Amino acid sequence: MNKYKLIVILVIVAILLMSCGSKPESALPEAWADRGEIRVYEVFGMDCPGCHGGLEKQLNALEGVADSKADWTSQQVMVLIDSGVEVSDANIHEGMKRANFTPGKRLK
């Protein structure tokens, strides 16, 4: 075992672990303009970019939800509701729970 190689590997990993990441801003998808009501919810439990797919899949399966976009960095999800359709917050929350996440406040 070359101990020096191991030390170098450890130092590189430590530097990468300690380096900073940035938090990009959420943006409204252009295709959503004038298509219906747009809601924004807090949602807790997303910890990587891959998490949003599971949440969006659950929300998009709900009756009346046209589309959704989740952002793990801001812990928010935007939901586009079809025009003229009533979708309760409770239904949205149920979709979040099926994705193993916890609903927060409705922000918009």
Partner 1 sequence: MSPFKKTKQYSYYWLLLGIFILAGESSAGGISVDAGLTPAENRWMIRVQSRQMGATSQPSTPTRQMKMQAKVFMAAYGLRPNVTLIGMQGLMNREMTMMGAVNESSGLADLNLLIKYLIHRTNTRHQTLGIAATTKFTLPTGEDGFSDDYWSFTPGVYLSLRRGTWAMDASTTFRIQDIFSQQDAMNSGWEYTLDGAIARQLPLDGLKNIALAPVFEINLLIDQGDQSSSAEVSDAESVVFLSPGFKYTYGSLILESLVQVPIWEKIPTTSLEKDTRWRIGFRFMF
Q: List the structure tokens of 76.
A: 């928010």
Provide the angle, in degrees to the nearest 10, between the axes of the packed helices 51-60 and 89-98: 140
User: Which residues of this chain interact with partner 1, rule CB under 8 A?
Assistant: 1, 6, 9-10, 12-13, 16-17, 19-24, 26, 42, 44-45, 47-50, 52-55, 57-58, 71-73, 75, 97-102, 104
The number of beta carbons lying within 10 Å of the beta carbon of residue 78 is: 21
Report, in Å, the least distance between residue 16 CB and partner 1.
4
CB closer to partner 1 out of 19 and 33: 19
In terms of Cβ atoms closer than 10 Å to its own Cβ (0-12, 13-18, 19+), residue 68 is buried
Report, in Å, the least distance between residue 20 CB and partner 1.
8
CB closer to partner 1 out of 10 and 85: 10
